[in-house]
A and B are shown apart, each in its own frame.
Chain A
Amino acid sequence: MLLSIEPDGPVPIYQQIRDRIVEAIAGGRQPAGSGLPSTRQLAVDLGVNFHTVNKSYDQLRQEGLLRLNRKSGAVVQRDASSGPPRPDWAEDWATRLRTLLAEAAAQGMPADDIVRHCRDAVAAFAFPAPDGEPGGGRGGQP
């Protein structure tokens, strides 16, 4: 997985790292069971502080996406094929999505455009095929 961050961007670096990893999981490039570099290693490769990467990993762990293990390192715990999310999480996510969509509507984006953007984004994700086989996975599941 290729990970690019903008050190001078408006979004905090730990947030950028976390977002890129979530996108890679959704896109099938980092399927459940695949490993990520250790926090120290990733910090060296990106030229950022070790605590920054630690914070991203910790956030992903709290969201249940990452399993941090002393022995096996950081391993992706779930992806699109791991079953439906917890109901309370879905509720929380719907609230955040509403805010995000509201921003577009407030800026005057037509409803069709908002829906089109949503459809394009979802089309790039790797969902399991209806018959249970993992489909559309560009990264391939081990």
Chain B
Amino acid sequence: MNAGTLTGEVLVPFFGAMLCITPAVTRPTVPFGVRVPAEQARATVIRHERYAYSWRTAAIGVCCTVAALLLHGHGSWWLIRIILLLEVTGDFGCFWIARNKISAVKHSEDWYAGHRQIVATDTSWRTDPPRFPVRWLIPALAVIAATVIVGAVRYPDLPARLTVGLGRHQVPKSAVSVFAIVVGQLWVTVLWTGLLLIVYRSRPDIEAADPAASTRRYRRYLTAVTQAVLTLASIPGVVAVTLGGSRATNTAVEGSDWDFGLYYRDRLDPADIVALGWPGRVFAPGEWGRIVNGGAWLTVDGTKVDLIYRDLHDVEHWTAAAEAGRFEIQREVGYVAGIATYVLAGELALGRVLAGELPRPPFPPKLRETAPVAWFRLAAGALHFAEVHAGRQDRVACLANLGQAVLATAQGRLAAAGEWVLNEKRITERAGLHAVQDRLAQPEPDLSALVCDVRACLQLTDTVW
């Protein structure tokens, strides 16, 4: 799994969809780059070509997406790039065909006969150009400055090895590796500022039919877009936002809350989340534990929204470990059988990426071998203690250990089947252990009989733990 395959999964359908809808968002009097009179904007040839273009590009997009998905995991990363290139070239070809057909009809029917062509410009655009909203750069520059200061102050405390990039290679600590993030911030800020400056200097989009109003509109539009882009360029540290939980896996029930994973690198300031201004409770990173990290419970317009922080450093570390078949089961509230560290990889696989780039690991084959062994061992141990407690008529301890045995068995079975498990909700059913639920539904005074029946349901082959 690397950024190359990610590119294929995300970019091929994205570009396909964007190019498919392009004609719908362009001005009706300039279909496919051909300027036509307003009364011809709904001409038969234009409608026909729009229709044909959307079908052709949709077909290309679907074919390329299918090809990219089939190639997923096989072949080299550049195969996906070639598919992307073919897709974009094909879509541009469709655009070119539509453009030529409309242009041919326009000329043969002489649509502009009896029209006067007028070119309008606003000289004040040059003599009194719209001011670039320099002040809106302040947040982005402040974030960069703050990063530099924090980096300089914390430099002595930083670990000797740092994880960089989406790949999970580590580099020794040095001024270059520590301040690489600042270079990234500077690059984004300079890139967007430069692009916006070019837009400011380029020819304004003025309609000859109503030059004064369209100039005013364009000035407002330019200011708004610039302010929005400069603000977005400043959002610190957060490199990707995913939609997780039940909403992403389509298991949402009415009233399910919205879970958003907030993947961050190096630092995430809870003050930034407080500053969003939504009511709720915001926790610091690491406050919930090593794996579950931290989060925030917010209410946005009456809807419960949970933010969950994930440190990309931890995520990458445990994802790489899971691929090698290594993992740990740690104690965590809400996880009776414990939380496996590969949950972090599972979240990547099941979450829907809303912004940014994240790897989407498949269930590692090695983990399918190593994880069930560990879970079944835990289950066997818990079952043994259930028996011990049953012998002493300790109902609470016996049932607790039975529960742990059942949940650990379910975890092991699902891992063997290559299914990600993010929490213990409904995993007993998912693992096909309905019989246990039924057995526990009946009142049972004889604890030893209960343990014996559950043991039969779990069908653990190895009793060594």
Contact = CB atoms under 8 A, between A and B. Distances in A.
Interface of A: 1-9, 34-38, 41-42, 44-48
Contacts of B125: 37, 45
A8 B117 contact: yes
15 contacts: A1-B122, A1-B123, A2-B122, A2-B123, A4-B211, A6-B119, A7-B117, A9-B116, A35-B127, A37-B126, A37-B127, A45-B121, A45-B126, A47-B119, A48-B119
Given A2-B212, A45-B203, A7 B127 contact: no
B209 to A, nearest CB: 10
Question: Sorted from nearest, which 8 A-B pairs have the closest CB atoms?
Answer: A37-B126, A45-B121, A4-B120, A35-B127, A2-B211, A1-B123, A41-B126, A4-B118
Contacts of B116: 6, 8-9
Given A34-B127, A37-B127, A6 B122 contact: no
B85 to A, nearest CB: 33
B108 interface: no
A4 to B, nearest CB: 4
Contacts of B208: 4
B428 to A, nearest CB: 71
B121 A46 contact: yes
A56 B215 CA distance: 24
**Contact residues of B: prevailing secondary structure:** mixed
Given A2-B123, A34-B127, A36-B127, 14 more contacts: A2-B120, A2-B121, A2-B212, A3-B120, A4-B120, A4-B211, A7-B119, A9-B116, A35-B127, A37-B125, A41-B126, A44-B203, A45-B203, A45-B204
Nearest to A74: B127
B124 interface: yes
A132 B122 CA distance: 30
B121 A6 contact: no
Interface string B99-141: 0000000000000000011111111111100000000000000
B118 A38 contact: no
Contacts of B120: 2-5
A48 B117 CA distance: 13
A109 B57 CA distance: 61
Given A34-B127, A37-B127, A46 B211 contact: no
Contacts of A45: 121, 125-126, 203-204
A36 B121 CA distance: 12
A6 B203 contact: no
Contact of B123 (A3, A5, A8): A3
B128 to A, nearest CB: 8
Contacts of B117: 6-8
A6 B118 contact: yes
Contacts of A42: 121, 123, 126
Contacts of B215: 2
B119 A46 contact: yes
Nearest to B204: A45
Contact of B119 (A5, A35, A36): A5
Interface in B199-214: 203-204, 208, 211-212
Contacts of A37: 123, 125-127
